Amino acid sequence: MRSTLALYCLLFSLISCVKPFDFKTEDAAPIVVVEATITDELKTQEVHLSYSRSVNTDESNSITNANVFIESGAGDRFLFNETDSGYYSDIEFAAQVGETYKLFVNTNTTQYQSSWQAALEAPEIENVYLRYIERPSETLNRNEEGMQVFIDAEQSSTEFFRVTWDETYEIRVPFPSGLDYLGPGNWIAREEQVGTCYNSDHSKEIITGTSTSNTSARLIELPVRYISFETDMLRNKYSIEVTLYAIDRETHEFYKSLKEVNQSGGSLFDTQQGAVLGNVNAVGDESEIVLGYFEVASVKKKRVFFTWDELDVPASRPSYRYSCTANEIIDTTPDRIDGLMNSSRRLITVGTMPPTASIGPAECTDCTSFSSSQKPDFWQ
33-73 pLDDT per residue, tens = 999 999 999 999 999 999 986 555 556 689 999 999 999 99
Query: How many residues does this entry show for the chain?
Result: 380
Q: What is the mean pLDDT of residues 149-171?
A: 94
Burial class for 344, CB neighbours closer than 10 Å (0-12, 13-18, 19+): exposed
Q: What is the mean pLDDT of residues 337-358?
A: 95
Q: pLDDT > 70: what percent of the chain?
A: 85
Q: Which of 126, 21, 113, 42 is nearest to 71 (CA)?
A: 113
Residue 203 in this model has a pLDDT that exceeds 90: yes
Between 82 and 142, whose confidence is greater? 82
In the chain, the number of structural domains is 1
* 61 part of a folded domain: yes
| pLDDT at res. 10 | 46
Q: Which of 133, 120, 111 is nearest to 38 (CA)?
A: 120
Distances (CA, A) of 8 to 4, 22, 85, 227, 234: 6, 19, 20, 23, 30
CA–chain centroid gap for 198, Å, is 16
Q: What are phi and psi of 46, to 5 degrees?
A: -125, 145
Least confident of 60-64, 273-277, 335-339, 370-374: 273-277
Q: Which of 152, 113, 97 is nearest to 297 (CA)?
A: 97
What pLDDT digit, counting tens, does each position of 9-31 carry? 444 443 333 343 344 444 457 88
Residue 158 in this model has a pLDDT that exceeds 90: no
* 132 part of a folded domain: no
* 98 part of a folded domain: yes
Question: How many CB atoms are closer than 10 A to CB 171?
Answer: 21
Distance between CA atoms of 157 and 359, rounded to whole angstroms?
61
Residue 87 pairs in a beta bridge with 47, 82
Average pLDDT, the chain: 87
CA–chain centroid gap for 67, Å, is 28
* 137 part of a folded domain: no
Residue 96 in this model has a pLDDT that exceeds 50: yes
What pLDDT digit, counting tens, does each position of 28-39 carry? 578 899 999 999
* 366 part of a folded domain: no
Residue 322 in this model has a pLDDT that exceeds 70: yes
Q: Contact 295/322 with Cβ under 8 angstroms?
A: no
Domain region containing 116: 2-121+249-298
Burial class for 223, CB neighbours closer than 10 Å (0-12, 13-18, 19+): middle
* 58 part of a folded domain: yes
